Every structure is written in structure tokens, then in C-alpha cells.
Structure 1
């Protein structure tokens, strides 16, 4: 029998070592995802913790330009309340992943977990010690590496400089049990932010690759030329190339063409077919980001390069070979690490 959403939150809190005497803060948007809010509160109470709900009028970014997004006056109060919590659950619609709110909460040593997927996805892809081991093995390789190279039979071939001693790395295994840690439930991938402006080469999207948050699969090949970290050409005759050209140009912002984080998935039970099995608009897309052996890269925001833009695409790709210096971590879409 499937677990209830409240039971799933209780299991997650146990993974996060939340229990008696601790306080969980639930950040939500007014009138949105009330079932997640209620389940998070019930789950916290069931493990002996207390909970407080922090509701803002709106925290979501615009999906297309035309509406200016500014942090409202409720954000300072929200931050002050979150600072009193042992752990913060983010159930906002778009997530606070790229926001100053997230950075300030985790920077103060608080743990933060974003939850957006349907309950059966949360249950099926709950975090495990093995997923964490795989992510940490990738982290150690990236920290020691100098160059990331990605190739594919479809024509992808680019390199990125990862030689920085303080290379920003995102490690996601689906739960938060350490101070200052952020994660996304569910998760199972490792990503780094290469030296800004260092990515050069070609990325060729193939049919079946994914475009997030559009929540759709690529239908026809798209060739992207990357120079000094920015997309300089988008070539292809199909609708995907046309939509990418239109979407990025609509923002009238050079930052949207930048490459941002990139890495690979390690989750053994994540399924590539999720956009076919579910209504894709009910998904945040975390399952495809986490599929074992996929290569995922993103465009737009990079807080480590002081670059912010609400336009942000995550693009998981199949069938790639990923090498950190001379170590192949994914070969033709199969995880080797």
C-alpha cells in the first residue's frame, strides 16, 4: 500500500535526523500546495518535532519576461522566522533554489529541503546511503579534477575548466542531515559550476533528451555552439531549435545564454520515461535530472559568478560520455563510477 504524504514526510524527517525538541519551518506561498504544507506539519509532529508555517504572498519567478519580479516586504520577516528553525522545508511552487532566500538560510547554518514532486515519485525515489556514496565519489573526483569533457555519438564535444581549488559543487542525494545543507527531495545527481567563461565546444541535443522546465522531450536535433561559456549559435530546422532561439531572445538579456552548472545523474531507479508516464505539468522534472548516467547541464543563473536571471533551463541528455581528466565517469550513458 502506498504511503500517505504525511508518512513520507515523517520518513524524510527521520533521514534528516529531525526529532523531539526540534523545530521545522515550512515555507509556502499563499493558497498553494496546501496538502504539502499539512503533510509536512503532520510528519514533523509524528517524529516528535514542532512545526511553523511561513507563508509569503508570492515567491515565484516569472516564466516569461514582462512581469518584474522583486522580493516583497514579507521576505525579511520570513528569513527571521526561518533562522529560528532547525530545518526548513520549501514547498513553494517554483522553489527557492536560485534565490537569495535560500542562500541566506543555508548560509546561517540551517538545513533546507525543497519538495515539489507528486507523492508516489517522492516515495519511489527516497534517498539512500548508496545514492549518497555515488554522489560523494563524484564530488571527490570533481574536486581533484582539472578538466571536464563531454562527448557523444551525436556530435557533442566540449571542455570546461574545473581546476579551481574552491570549485562550487552541488551534491544532491535527497535529504539534509548536515548544518547549512540544501537538497531536493527526490535527488540523485552531482553537478559543478565550471570556471565562468571556460566552456567551449559543441552540444548536440538528440531526440529524447529533455528540456526542463518545459517538461518535454526534444523532437529533432539541435546543435549549440558554446564559446567562452556562452551559447553563440543555435542551429536546427525543427521546432526545438526554433523554440530555444525564441525563448532565449525574448528575455533580451545576455545572461540567459550563459552555461551554468553541469554534472550527471546517479539514481538507480529514476526513469527517463517520467514525462510520458505522468502528466508532465505535475512534475518538477527532478526524476529526469537524476536518471543514472544522464548528463545534465543548465543555462542562466550562476550565483558564484554573480549572474542572476529568472530564465533558467536544465537539459538532461542521454548517451553521453563524461570524463574528469582521464577518468570516465559515464560512458555512452552508462555510469561507471
Structure 2
């Protein structure tokens, strides 16, 4: 790559806080022009990779781009991202959010209305935890929380809603995984079809399996939700590289039995992949009984540890549409269980304020879901059948084209 003048790039990209990554001059408090221009350039392939992400999320010349991270971040990746934004001709800033340190020396989130007011001005907002290997609080609030000065229930809803200007991408994973999971137009189209199926139906969903599962819920008046890894519409939020269809069922409607089998996944247990069956009984929207051996006891103990009945309540339900996710090691479980084509993703606990959703937000968001809980506990099942308003759209883990399947 031809060497650039990084003073110009920093000015064009608005990356003031990336100065943390610049070598110090003789005076450690001063960075000179020579210091800036001596900064090693990010590798050309990494800049090209980041530029591809930005262009896929429709960043254009003259748009306002904000990337928000904790104060510990991957300097090389961030510099590549800002360089790519500068090449596109965007303006904006890197916001490096520092935490509050309490009297016990612990880090606490210091996010404020100021941060959310800034984020809401962006045409494209990227929040990322890349390089935060010491576990600092993130650069955005979890859904369910509100620190911003706005009329919406949560900070998530203030941005992820019809009528808002910001496209919001949560960017994670190391570069090899980013390349493996990279969004495609074909996956986007399929996933949107699945979300539209749910959105147009807004009725009963049923899960059955050869192992004995027979479970129902209703999503009446709740939108279909699509994650295809791209924030390409105003008001849309997504996780980079994802592929799934989901909904926030009516909180009191989950009924029946789910029988998790060996190979299914409960992400908050260790190991996460089950080696024995766990049976969950639902009544009135809640898990009321957990049956099985040691792993069932561990799961029940986990849910009881929250000391809140809402921790047992259904949060969201859906299925994966990603044809290229793999379970090669522990670092793959998060993406695999959430997105593997034909996997069924469930969550118990919090679903409050996860975006208002619907067609006006690009089918991103769970609508007026209302469960407030101290947890958001995922589990995934494989090889099941799913019926949408009486029509079977997943058979033994194979997703129909109408529901977002690739075959």
C-alpha cells in the first residue's frame, strides 16, 4: 500500500481517540506530525476487509460514521477500519468509552445520555469489543437498559426502530471468523424471507421432535426478526456475520415439553454441549420443571440462582439460517448455536426493549416484548420440526425455502 499522510486520514476519519495507539515523542504528552506519519500503516488486506464491511453496510462519502469501543481495543483493527472510512470519504469519530472505577477498584459502565445522543447522530454506528481482553464494560448498554435522554423504553429502542436514521452494527469475532461468517446477499434474502413469514403470520409456533418434544408458543402482534449480519437500512441493528430468524413470543404462551438431546447446547453451562438429555416443562410461559441427570440439575440450579421467577420465562425463539458456521472449538459455540441453519435458538429471561422491529426497521427487533429478568440464557436444539400456523417449515432440522432455508 502506498504510504499516506496519517494526519490527513485522522482528520478525515475523525479518529481522535486512536491517538492512544500512536508512539510517544520525546515528550510523552505530545504527539507530533512526525509521530503520526511514522505510525505503521495497517496491512492492505485488513483495510480492504474493513472497507468491504463498511461498504456492505452502505457507508458513503459524506456520511457520519461513529465507531464506539471500550478504552481497551484492537488498535490495528481500529486503524484499518478508520482508514477504510477515510478512503470512502466519511466523516466521524472513534469514541473510546472509559469506565467508572468504584471504591472497591471495580470497573463500572460510565455510559451516559451524552454517548447515546452522539450515537444517535451517526448514519452508521459500529460498536465493537474487539481487543477488550480484560473485560471492560462495553460501549453500549445491554437491551433492557436506559441511560439516554429519550422517550423510548430502552437505549436499544431509541435507535433500533422505524423512523430513526442510524444503521447500527455490532462487530465481533477475529478476522478469520469474520471471513468465514461474512454476510452474503443470498443469506440476507433467505433470512428476510423467514422473518417475513413470521411477521405475516403472527400466530402459533410449534416444535416437535422424535425425542418427545411437543412445545407451542404464540407471537400474536409480535414482529418477525431477521439477523443477516448487515445494518443496511435506517433504524436497523444487527450482529456482524449472523444468520437467524426469531421472534419474541407473547410472554405467557409457551406450553409443553422440550427434550434437549446429546449434542444440543446450553451456553451458560460448562461444557456447553450436552452429553445427556435435559427435559424442560413449560406452563404459562415459564419453565416449571427440569428433568434429567447431572446437567439438568446444573441448569435448574443456574436458573434458581437468579432468585427471580422471570428468569424461567420464555424470551425469544427462532432458527438459524447460516450455512457456513462450524463447531470446531469453544470459540465457535456462540455463533454456531445461534445461527447454524436449522438449529432452534431459545432464550429464557430478559426480552424487554430489544428494538421495535417490523418492516420499517428492516425486520430488526422483537417489538413490544415485555419480560424483565436478570438473565438472558440461551439454549439450542437440533434436528427438530417446526410448524408455523400449522404448516411445517422445518423438518428434522432442514429449513424450507419459505422459512429461509438454503435448499
TM-score, L = length of structure 2: 0.72
What aligned pairs does 1:179-258 form with structure 2 within 5 A after superposition? 179-212=234-267, 214=269, 216-238=272-294, 240-258=295-313
Q: Cα offset for 1:42?
A: 2.9
Say if 1:30 and 1:309 are closer, same or farther in 2 by CA, change over 3 A.
farther
TM-score, L = length of structure 1: 0.86
Over the aligned positions, Cα root-mean-square deviation in angstroms equals 2.5
Higher percent of residues as strand: 1
What is the total number of aligned residue pairs between the two structures? 318
1:215-242 per-position Cα deviation (integer Å, ceiling 9, x unaligned)? 721121100001111111111112x212
Q: Per the alignment, in what secondary structure is the counterpart of residue 195 of structure 1?
A: coil
Q: 1:135 aligns with which of 181, 191, 194?
A: 191
| C-alpha distance in 2 between matches for 1:292 and 1:161 | 22
Q: Work out which of the two has the higher radius of gyration on C-alpha atoms and give 1 or 2.
A: 2
Task: Quote the residue 2:68 is aligned against.
Answer: 27
Q: Cα offset for 1:91?
A: 0.7
Q: Is the 8 A contact 2:249 2:314 kept in 1?
A: no
Q: Is the 8 A contact 2:205 2:386 kept in 1?
A: yes
Q: Cα offset for 1:97?
A: 5.3
| C-alpha distance in 2 between matches for 1:336 and 1:91 | 33
Task: Quote the residue 1:124 is aligned against.
Answer: 180
Q: Cα offset for 1:29?
A: 1.4
Task: Quote the residue 1:90 is aligned against.
Answer: 127
1:106-144 per-position Cα deviation (integer Å, ceiling 9, x unaligned)? 344311111122211111121112112211211222123
Task: Quote the residue 1:335 is aligned against.
Answer: 399
| C-alpha distance in 2 between matches for 1:36 and 1:246 | 40
Task: Quote the residue 1:326 is aligned against.
Answer: 390
Task: Quote the residue 2:31 is aligned against.
Answer: none
Q: Is the 8 A contact 1:147 1:160 kept in 2?
A: yes
Task: Quote the residue 1:48 is aligned against.
Answer: 89
Task: Quote the residue 1:8 is aligned against.
Answer: 49
Q: Per the alignment, in what secondary structure is the counterpart of residue 252 of structure 2?
A: coil
Q: Cα offset for 1:286?
A: 2.2
Q: 1:313 aligns with which of 377, 385, 397?
A: 377
Q: 1:80 aligns with which of 88, 105, 117?
A: 117
Say if 1:39 and 1:242 are closer, same or farther in 2 by CA, change over 3 A.
farther
- Is 1:110 matched with 2:151? no
Gap regions ≥5 residues in structure 1: 60-67
Q: Per the alignment, in what secondary structure is the counterpart of residue 150 of structure 1?
A: strand
Task: Quote the residue 1:293 is aligned against.
Answer: 342
Say if 1:21 and 1:58 are closer, same or farther in 2 by CA, change over 3 A.
same
- Is 1:37 matched with 2:74? no
What aligned pairs does 1:135-174 form with structure 2 within 5 A after superposition? 135-145=191-201, 146-164=203-221, 167-174=222-229
Q: Per the alignment, in what secondary structure is the counterpart of residue 8 of structure 1?
A: helix
**107-116 vs 282-291, which moves further:** 282-291
Q: Is the 8 A contact 2:265 2:379 kept in 1?
A: yes
| C-alpha distance in 1 between matches for 2:372 and 2:211 | 31
Q: Cα offset for 1:151?
A: 0.8
| C-alpha distance in 1 between matches for 2:142 and 2:263 | 26
